[in-house]
Each structure stands twice: as C-alpha cells, then as structure tokens.
Chains A and B, each alone.
Chain A
C-alpha cells in the first residue's frame, strides 16, 4: 500500500503528462542515450508575440531546448516534423516566468518550431533545420512499434493478474467466511502476489486502493478499516502486547462476511476497470517505466522493512511479487532500451539477477520464510541489493521515452 494512494496515484499523475513517446522534458543531459557527442543546447524565449530561438539550426543527435516563458500566459513549445503536423517533441505547461528543458533526439531534416502562448491556435512557428552530425540516431518507426508492443503486452499482463487475483480472492474469501482459517492463511500470500505484481496500477485507482490495501497505521482516527490487512490481522491474531497493549477482539461472523464480501466486490471492480479501453489508453511507455521504479520503491519502503505484512510476516512473498512486476515491465521495454542505452540494459540485467539470487536464498516450499526469520545482516543484504537495482531502474523511463 502506498501511503499517498488516496490522492493521485502514479498512473493518474502520469495522465497529466504527455502520453507521447519520443518526448520528455526535464531529463538530465542525455549522456547515456547511446548517441555520440554531447547534446546541442538552444534557448527559446516565448512571449505573447514572439518565439525567439538562439539558433535556427542544430546538429543531429541529442538536442536540448531551454524554453523560457517571458510572457504572461501559460505556454508550450513544439518541435514539429517537416509536414508541420506530426509532433516530434513538445514541452507543455510552462507557467509565466518559468523555464523548462525539452530534451529530444532529432534526425537530420527540416522541422518547424512553435511556441504556443495561451495554448491556443497553431502557435508562433518558424522553420528549423537539423544538419547531419554523423551521430547514430535510431529509426523512430521501429522504436514506435516496439513501444506499442511493450504497452500492449503490459496491459495484457495487468489484465491477467487481476483475473488471477479474482480467482484467488474468491477461494480465500470462501475459506475465511466458512471459518477455515488454516486454509485462508495458506491462501493469503499466494493470492496477494497478484495484487503486489501490479501494485502501482492498483494504486492508481485512488478509491479502491485504500479500501483494499490500507494498513492499520495508515488509518486516520475514527476511520473504518477494511481490506486485506484487516483480514490478515484477524487470521494472525496478535497478543495484547503486540496490539498496543489492548486485547485483540476477533471479528464476528457478520463482520467477516461484510468485509470479505467487500474485498471480493472491490477485486471484481478492479478487474473490470483494468479491462476497459480507457485503462489501456493510459498505459504508455513512461507509465510502465515509472511503474517498474515504483514497484522497487515499494520494496524499499515497505517490504524490506517488514512493515507491509506486520501480522502474517509474508513480506518476502510481496517482495518477490513486486520484483516480478518490475521485471515484467522492464522486459517489455528492454528491446527499446537496448537500442538506446545498451549499458543500462547490461546493468539492469545483472542487478535483477543479483537481487533475485539473494531472494531465492530465502525460499521455503512454494514460497518464502517469514520476514521475522531474517537476521539483520540478511535484511541489510537485501536492502542494499534493492538500492543497487533501483538506482539504474530510475533511469529507465528517461532512457525509453527520450
């Protein structure tokens, strides 16, 4: 559970951004993009009546336009293809007085630049030429196809996981309601795996996530607690000492029925929403890349510390599931990344394998040992490996969308 999930989740936040691949702003100078030479820097000043560039030509390869809004309206800046229609790159939502960088990779050819103060009309346009620097710029058509394949594949993965989550939840709920606590305990972690694999997606539904995955510590005073972790606590009932000094009161049969049924209904709702066309349209390459990073953040802040599953201590199952989800997201983008940043791919391949190797040491049966069985050194070792993977993974999005 992300503690900010009541607000805008990662996907919803992404919806504020452009979904266009081939466009990123605010990225650091693209020294890792695989193209030769440093980026060419240009300045753009946008006012109500003018769009002034420091040059009307630049060498092919990485280009950085530093766009300053010197007007009084919100402005945008575009690099358009020769036809004046296709957007090669853009930066939007630049408030008055602010500057923002547009980083892109441009092939040799004729372009147009355009400032759009007030975000209306065709903008203030001028021709722009990219000369051949000899830099190796990947063919955009092929990359676009690969990105489409990645997003299609990822949407299918999310749908499949929600279907498996529903199947698992049905069995879990049946066992729990019938009082077969042992069966319910056995089903708890393997079922939640399907949730944890797609956690950033689930969290993007800001109403469902707190209902389904809120931890007790995340509650406000007087707020009703529902979802997985409520049932977790009821299945792994704490002693008074572990419960803030208060005797734990088990849920009544009526409460069991109510909360289990709600969890099932919410799971069905989640599945339906991920099967909608609107959802598929929201999944872009940057959403997948950021989702992979978000999953590792979840591991770093919740699982490796044992805070996610404080009653069942099944955190390592969640850890593996988060890692699975990140791995799937990365694998989808790997073909694109290998073209743009082969060194990053090599590093990510290695570090995914290293982290997986460490985690595998804690397998037991079909799953994992309890988090409480790890000693301090083992937790530290895992934490360090998570950081080692997370750092290059945080550069995946920029590498892919640039």
Chain B
C-alpha cells in the first residue's frame, strides 16, 4: 500500500495529469463513453465568464481549479457522479470551525488537482497514511468540491448563536417551508455544512468526501450523505440533455454556463443583495431535495399519461406543442376542443419561467438509487440540486405551486431537504495552507 502512495507523490505539478496510470486513464475514458456519451468535454475552465466551453474528446485528465471568483461545481459542466454530504458541527469552538474550513480547503485543492488529500511523503510508516488511497492511480476525473453553510450553523433550533455568526446570517438562509406532500426524513434533512463532490468517476467523488470527513472528525460529523449518478441536468450547451429515472429528458431549460447575464441575474448573489451578509456576494444558494420517485407505479402509466404529465414527448423531449427538444413550449397552442396541447398542470408548464415570474434556476441534480425499500421496490429518484440567487423567489413559490398542482406529484415524494449558502470562491493566487492559509467562506469569519 505504502509503495503505491509513496511513488505516486513526488514531482506533482498542478493541473497536469498526476494521479493516473495510463491504464487507469484509458479505462476511465471508456467508462465515460459507455455511460451514454455524457462524459467529459475537456473543458479547461468553464468559469471564465462568457467563454464558451470547447467540445473535445472526453478527457479523464481534465481538472477544474478550486480557486476563482466563484466556487467550482456550479457552472462547471455537470460531471457524471455525485457524492453529497451534510455535516453537523460537533465542536462549539469558532476557532475549530475555521481551522476545519482551512484544512478542508487545503485538502480539496489538492484533490481536485489529482493529488492525495495530504502530503504522503510526510507520513511516517507507523502512522496511518494521510490519504485513504483508493483514488491512487485514478485521473482527476473533473473533480469539483463545493462547500456550503446551512441555517443551523448560524443559530441552533433554540436560536442560540453558536459561533458568533448569527448577525451575519443571510436573511434568505432559513429552513425551507413545509410543502404539500413533504415526507421529509429528519435523518436526510438539514445540516450545518455541506460538501458537494462531483466527478466523472464515482470513486474519485467518494474518495473526496471520505477524506474530508476524516479531516472533520472531532469538529464535524456527517449528518447524511447521498450518492448520485447520471447527471440529470446540463449546465453547458456543449452537453446533451440527460434523462431522469422517469425516462424523460430533464432540465432542457436550464441556465447554462455560457449565459453570463442569466448567471448574474439568477445564480450569483449580488454585492447589494443582503447588506447584513455581504460576505455572500459572488456566492449562491443551494437547494437540495431528495425526491423519491414511485417508479413502479410510474412504469405502469400509459405513455399517454406519462407524456401528458410531463408535457413533453418521451422519445425526443419536444414539448407537446411541437418542434424539437429545444423548441420553446407554446402553452397557448390548442388542440381538440380548444384544450391546450400542453396541459396547464403538466410539469413543463408549471416549472417554466413564464409561469414563475421569470424565475430560473441552475439545476445540477443527479439520479439516485439507494437499494430498495423492503417492500420489493427500488428506493430511487432524483437528488435535486439547484443554485439560485434568491431561494424565496426562485424556488419556494415554484415548489409550492408544483406540490399543489403538478400532475407529476402523484409519482414523487420529497424525503430529504437542505438549503445552504454557498460562499464565493477563494481568490486565484491565494496561499492555501492547513494552518494559516486562505479558505472557502473566509469572508464570513472576517
């Protein structure tokens, strides 16, 4: 074991292929193609504003830097795999919390570059290695690690200020309201901190959360976590629209990385949005919802019913008003008897910005399947992730309307939930160190 990690470490350069063996690279590249061709696109840095991502052969060696004006993992072209984790801070010390974030940032920066979480050359033989090792030999796989802060970090259920941060809690960072039909499991809901790790190789994503969790022991503990596969959204025009577990294309109308103006309007928190929480400027809010699909009953629905409920054709994803996938839906176009071809209670109608006061979201969700439920049915569905500038305006009204009226709700059950403030990125060029370096969310503690 130690010889693997020891020989892998020396001579690493940032942003170059470092953790892979040739064999591993080839294997990962084939795997990505095998997953419906929705693997990598060789985008060097999709966060450069306005830069159209280049489409190239899938590359498992691509990396996305941790630093930048915004955190990576938001407009980054959605990778294939997810490991999301919500943490409870177990320490009462603000210093310990800051230290954790500093050590997390340092380790995350290493891992997204394909390096082990810690410097293995400094690991004594009689100590456990500072990286768990399972990602050794794997390419960076486009890993991004995105950190967030939950409402409970700022004040506990009794309103107590835990870390002297209560005054800086963003006004919009509150627990989401109860929506009709919610059957939230407390063990899958909330959290003081969150980590979204995305990569094209599940082992790379899980490795990241595993090592960050290890670093957190004593300061924070995982409250719940979720694996996801088969990204359900495109976040770049260079990506094809994937399908959710209903078998339909999803997220066709998503905000794309190329839409700079839309990102500024709908995703990034502005400098003047919340005077009490100016630290969040350049950040965003992340809405996480674990949405179980009753896929067994869905699979028994006639194609007529399925298409009526979604409002799109199953085969091409075209709206029922005609055209192809990217044709704008025509909600007024009427068929027999004057009834609109797209049912006003269909998912596409209720989720459309036109029906939501122009609100759009950057969706970045994944399918999930967590085994079965003991009744012979798969526990499967959508792990919904969406980045918004204002959850109260961009998510809550839409979810309220959908929970009440969306025909699809019959087949959906929200079982987990979280809202997190996503701080801006660590500036490019900042010095990172586990003891005294810059860290994600530093502005909050300034």
**Any B CB within 8 A of the CB of A342:** no
Given A74-B333, A297-B300, A387-B296, 8 additional A-B pairs, CB 8 A: A4-B407, A93-B335, A96-B321, A217-B183, A301-B294, A383-B375, A387-B376, A391-B300
**Any B CB within 8 A of the CB of A7:** yes
Min CB gap B185→A, angstroms: 12
Q: Roughly how many angstroms separate A25 CA and B335 CA in the complex, as a whole number?
A: 16
Q: State the interface size on chain A (CB cutoff 8 A).
A: 49
Contact between chains at B300 and A217 (CB < 8 Å): no
Contact between chains at A221 and B181 (CB < 8 Å): no
Q: B291-332 interface mask toward A, CB cutoff 8 Å, 1 = contact, 0 = none?
A: 000101100111111011000010010111111100100000
Contact between chains at A13 and B296 (CB < 8 Å): no
CB < 8 Å neighbour of B322 from A13, A69, A300, A387: A69
Query: Given the known A-B contacts A3-B181, A221-B178, are A97 and B302 also in contact in the complex, defined by CB atoms under 8 Å?
Result: no
Query: Given the known A-B contacts A4-B408, A95-B318, A98-B313, are A220 and B400 also in contact in the complex, defined by CB atoms under 8 Å?
Result: yes
**Any B CB within 8 A of the CB of A305:** yes
**A388 closest partner in B (C-beta):** B376
**Any B CB within 8 A of the CB of A363:** no
Min CB gap A253→B, angstroms: 29
Contact between chains at A384 and B300 (CB < 8 Å): no
**Any A CB within 8 A of the CB of B250:** no
CB < 8 Å neighbour of A97 from B324, B375, B377, B400: B324
Q: 8 A-B pairs, CB-CB below 8 angstroms?
A: A4-B410, A7-B406, A217-B180, A220-B179, A220-B404, A223-B180, A380-B374, A383-B376
Interface residues of A in 359-402 (CB under 8 A from B): 376, 379-380, 383-384, 387, 390-391, 393-394, 397-398
**Any B CB within 8 A of the CB of A6:** yes
Provide the residues of chain A in CB contact with B182, threshold 8 Å.
Answer: 217
CB < 8 Å neighbour of B375 from A25, A305, A398: A305
Provide the residues of chain A in CB contact with B408, threshold 8 Å.
Answer: 4
Contact between chains at A293 and B300 (CB < 8 Å): yes
Interface residues of A in 82-112 (CB under 8 A from B): 92-93, 95-98
Which of B66-74, B339-347, B421-429 is found at the contact surface with chain A? B339-347
Contact between chains at A97 and B303 (CB < 8 Å): no
CB < 8 Å neighbour of A119 from B296, B302, B336, B343: B336
**Any B CB within 8 A of the CB of A318:** no
Provide the residues of chain B in CB contact with A96, threshold 8 Å.
Answer: 321-323
Instruction: Give the bracket for the number of chain B residues in contact with chain A.
Output: 35 or more
Provide the residues of chain B in CB contact with A220, threshold 8 Å.
Answer: 178-180, 400, 403-404
**Any A CB within 8 A of the CB of B405:** yes
Measuring CB to CB, which residues of chain B are less than 8 angstroms from any residue of chain A? Answer: 177-183, 294, 296-297, 300-305, 307-308, 313, 316, 318-324, 327, 333-337, 339, 341, 343, 345, 374-377, 400, 403-410
Min CB gap B325→A, angstroms: 10
**Any B CB within 8 A of the CB of A347:** no
Contact between chains at B323 and A394 (CB < 8 Å): no
CB < 8 Å neighbour of B300 from A16, A76, A380, A390: A390
**Any B CB within 8 A of the CB of A2:** yes
Contact between chains at A3 and B374 (CB < 8 Å): no
**A219 closest partner in B (C-beta):** B180
Q: Of B304, B341, B409, which is in contact with the most chain A CB atoms at under 10 Å from its CB?
A: B304
Contact between chains at B341 and A93 (CB < 8 Å): yes
**Any B CB within 8 A of the CB of A26:** yes
Provide the residues of chain A in CB contact with B406, threshold 8 Å.
Answer: 4, 7
Q: Roughly how many angstroms separate A76 CA and B337 CA in the complex, as a whole number?
A: 13
Contact between chains at B302 and A397 (CB < 8 Å): yes
CB < 8 Å neighbour of A13 from B178, B305, B327, B375: B305
Provide the residues of chain B in CB contact with A25, threshold 8 Å.
Answer: 304
**Any B CB within 8 A of the CB of A21:** no
**Any B CB within 8 A of the CB of A132:** no
Contact between chains at A221 and B300 (CB < 8 Å): no
Min CB gap B327→A, angstroms: 7
Q: Roughly how many angstroms separate A393 CA and B300 CA in the complex, as a whole number?
A: 9
Q: Of B294, B319, B404, which is in contact with the most chain A CB atoms at under 10 Å from its CB?
A: B404
Contact between chains at A218 and B180 (CB < 8 Å): yes
**Any B CB within 8 A of the CB of A81:** no
Provide the residues of chain A in CB contact with B313, threshold 8 Å.
Answer: 98
Contact between chains at B319 and A383 (CB < 8 Å): no
Min CB gap B243→A, angstroms: 18
Provide the residues of chain A in CB contact with B327, threshold 8 Å.
Answer: 97
Contact between chains at A74 and B308 (CB < 8 Å): no
Q: Roughly how many angstroms separate A98 CA and B324 CA in the complex, as a whole number?
A: 8
Min CB gap A28→B, angstroms: 8
Min CB gap B313→A, angstroms: 6
Provide the residues of chain A in CB contact with B377, threshold 8 Å.
Answer: 383, 387
Q: Roughly how many angstroms separate A393 CA and B299 CA in the complex, as a whole number?
A: 12
Query: Given the known A-B contacts A6-B405, A220-B400, are A379 and B375 also in contact in the complex, defined by CB atoms under 8 Å?
Result: yes
Contact between chains at A6 and B404 (CB < 8 Å): yes
Q: Of A69, A376, A383, which is in contact with the most chain B CB atoms at under 10 Å from its CB?
A: A383
**B396 closest partner in A (C-beta):** A221
CB < 8 Å neighbour of A16 from B294, B301, B339, B409: B339
Q: Of A27, A98, A304, A383, which is in contact with the most chain B CB atoms at under 10 Å from its CB?
A: A98
Contact between chains at A380 and B376 (CB < 8 Å): yes
Query: Given the known A-B contacts A4-B408, A387-B296, are A376 and B374 also in contact in the complex, defined by CB atoms under 8 Å?
Result: yes
**Any B CB within 8 A of the CB of A156:** no
Q: Roughly how many angstroms separate A26 CA and B182 CA in the complex, as a whole number?
A: 33
**Any B CB within 8 A of the CB of A8:** yes
CB < 8 Å neighbour of B323 from A6, A74, A97, A393: A97
**B342 closest partner in A (C-beta):** A95
CB < 8 Å neighbour of B301 from A8, A221, A394: A394
Provide the residues of chain B in CB contact with A387, threshold 8 Å.
Answer: 296, 376-377
**Any B CB within 8 A of the CB of A17:** yes
Q: Roughly how many angstroms separate A376 CA and B303 CA in the complex, as a whole number?
A: 33
Min CB gap A125→B, angstroms: 19
**A299 closest partner in B (C-beta):** B297
**B306 closest partner in A (C-beta):** A26
Q: Roughly how many angstroms separate A92 CA and B323 CA in the complex, as a whole number?
A: 16
**A307 closest partner in B (C-beta):** B183
